[in-house]
Amino acid sequence: MDLKVEKGNFVLGPTGLPETVSGLEELLQRARISLELRRGKFPYNRELGSRLWQLDPQEEHREDRALALANEALLGLAGIRAEQARSTEAGMAFTIVTPLGEGEVEIGNL
């Protein structure tokens, strides 16, 4: 079980205490954090994060490269992988497959 994080902040429940996530939602949150964080920027684990920020918006095979970069970032998360990438208005959406099922994670500003 993890604390729920949105836009870099903990989400507080109606009681004022942080909400928690578990199961599939927890695994998707871990994947999202790994994809959003720039690799090398987290001082306690320089291997955490992705190089998705290096994507060129005009790149010919942008979605294929995004998928490869996403899977590189997810290597440290056992049993979690990106299966598909697609461009969105905000950035890139990934279909994430986990041992508990699959879901979609969207990463903005790419």
Nearest-angstrom CA–CA distance, 50 and 3: 21
Sorting pLDDT into bands at 50, 70 and 90, what band is 90? confident
> CB–CB of 18/26 below 8 Å?
no
Helices (H) and strands (E) in the chain, counts: 2, 7
Determine the structural domain holding residue 21 and report its residue range: 2-108
pLDDT digits (tens, 9 = 90+) for 24-67: 999 999 999 999 999 999 899 999 999 999 998 888 999 999 99
Residue 24, burial from CB neighbour count under 10 angstroms (0-12, 13-18, 19+):
middle
User: What pLDDT is attached to residue 58?
Assistant: 85
Mean pLDDT to the nearest integer, 78-95: 95
Q: Which two tokens stand for residue 105?
A: 């994670």
User: What pLDDT is attached to residue 59?
Assistant: 87
User: What pLDDT is attached to residue 92?
Assistant: 95
Q: Provide the CATH number for the domain around residue 94.
A: 3.10.450.40
> CB–CB of 86/68 below 8 Å?
no
Based on the structure, what is the number of domains in the chain?
1
Q: What is the pTM of this model?
A: 0.91
